[in-house]
Structure 1
């Protein structure tokens, strides 16, 4: 009877060992969703300027002659193609000018025929010595003057014909009508702006720089652009154009920022341009992204290729209300876990999502 408990214990140990060995197949670890963010610069490290997305080329379109606008074919926001007629002037005056020029040309050609006949007759008479040489030269000069008048009136006729074609205003390139400054029935002068066309192609952000700071900006200065409707995306850019004189009313200098990478932006979108001060950028992360072990703070960085987390030690600055500066350890293009950091472990695979639980496509090194 004393051996029975020993046999029972041995049997139980053997059963646990067999259960532990099993068939060698471990349970697959589930992929945990993790909210990820990228470090953002501190407000103190950047100056920001409000702006608006505009087309790089915005020609002001105008009629080359004056007149009354008879028809307007487009509205603001309409997409147009090169050569498309945008508006037309009343063609009646231009038609009458063409007819008048044609009549003057006919009269000049008739005078030329008469002068030619007179010259030929006097040429024959001077050969027979029936008229003096001076009379022939007078007829010859009259013939040459008639030729010049024909050339002059023909040129005037061609100008009138061209101006008749100027009654139709056509788009010089593909684009979008950004402004409309006239209405049908309005009388416009030659060169008066009728439409402003935002041509297809490159997009830029127009900002205004204060006059006391304009000396610190130069063409080619790298900047960062953030759209109001897409706060989580950052677009690299450069200062492409800087006005040489201040606006007389606002006393600010107009500047244009070009995108240095492809950016799917729309005309008129509100944007903010960030310029680093002294070239030093201090990054910040949410407080919820910070975890510590033995007093050493760290964050979980997600590898974009494997989507596995790695512990990264960081050097922190003074804590704020909801964010903390990171002095060392992170780069602007890193992706870090911003919530539930105490539930992760080294090398664990995660499914990156944003604050609205939408999956995030991680791009390595792109802030």
Structure 2
């Protein structure tokens, strides 16, 4: 008889222990929710240009082809410089002649000036010598300018990369004759990229205030943007505003023309948030366990909305301040033990 009472006591105590064990819970609270829109964006290079010829000549050598990496300052195209060198030699000869003429004019001016001072020559002769000196100085200036221009034209026969990057197109071949302004090579830099999106006009004002964005790649990676530029006018055909965002490329695996998703915050509102782990999903059912006044868990169907950082927005079914059970499995075990 004593053993029966002892067994019954053990069963009652174990049941009481299970009931007395508190379920971990927390009050449902409101927190700010930032509403965002997702737009298709396209990556483009900040630095992209076509290098054109600045002097005429025949293409002697092209040092790089499409997809080749070019360092800043490297020679990318060489033109035949025979004509430019001949012009430089001619200009330098003219400079030497002008220097000699100026030296003669100075000596003549000094000689005439001495004669005038000793009253051995009329002052008109001094004026004439001064005019000759001024003319010689002008000829020297023109000769120096001609040499500088000839040297510049010679330098133009070696086309230099303005910045480091990748060659994207060749517009001429070796042996072709080119003229000033004719495209030679196109390229771009992968070090500085940006994303361009078309922002619907109804979001323009709020996006300007937020000035934040996230770029999502197709592989799921999320990249932060640095700086935003809003074009001050809408496209008359689409009524959208063009927005540019600077993008960092630390991995070097982003390329112009790639399609990305851009998330732009456009509004803020207050919302009820719960941890994602507290949500019970059974087919189409979305529910949570809530403690009633007696501290017992009860299943409550809810309607959910946005998800962010391990939290889920509750649109209906829960009220602020209600006690949410954080471990649905423990709540289910409690109900089964009742």
When normalised by structure 1's length, the TM-score is: 0.58
CA contact (8 A) 1:88 1:167 kept: yes
- Select 1:195's aligned residue among 178, 186, 194: 186
CA contact (8 A) 2:98 2:143 kept: yes
Cα deviation digits, residues 231-277 of structure 1 (max 9, x gap)? x3333336611223456887654321234896764113321212234
Q: 1:157 and 1:141, CA in 2 relative to 1: closer, same or farther beyond 3 A?
A: same
Residue 127 of structure 2 corresponds to residue 140 of structure 1: no
- Select 1:88's aligned residue among 78, 81, 84: 78
Q: Which residue does the alignment assign to 2:151? A: 161
Q: Which residue does the alignment assign to 2:113? A: 123
Q: 1:196 and 1:159, CA in 2 relative to 1: closer, same or farther beyond 3 A?
A: same
Q: Which residue does the alignment assign to 2:223? A: 235
Aligned length in residues: 266
Residue 231 of structure 2 corresponds to residue 255 of structure 1: no
Q: 1:193 and 1:117, CA in 2 relative to 1: closer, same or farther beyond 3 A?
A: same
More helix by percentage: 2
- 1:48 alignment partner, SS class: strand
More strand by percentage: 2
Unmatched runs of 5 consecutive residues or more in structure 1: 1-44, 300-312, 318-324, 337-343, 347-367
Q: 1:227 and 1:241, CA in 2 relative to 1: closer, same or farther beyond 3 A?
A: same
Unmatched runs of 5 consecutive residues or more in structure 2: 1-34, 290-298, 313-327, 331-338
Q: 1:335 and 1:75, CA in 2 relative to 1: closer, same or farther beyond 3 A?
A: farther
Counterpart Cα distance in 1 of 2:231 and 2:143: 46
Counterpart Cα distance in 1 of 2:305 and 2:150: 72
- Within-5 A mapping of 1:1-367: 46-55=36-45, 57-63=46-52, 65-68=54-57, 70=59, 71-177=61-167, 179-180=168-169, 182-184=171-173, 185=176, 187-190=178-181, 194-200=185-191, 202-210=192-200, 214-218=204-208, 221-228=211-218, 230=219, 232-237=220-225, 240-246=228-234, 252-259=240-247, 265-268=253-256, 269-279=258-268, 290-291=280-281, 297-298=287-288, 316-317=302-303, 325-326=304-305, 332-334=308-310
- RMSD of aligned C-alpha atoms? 4.3
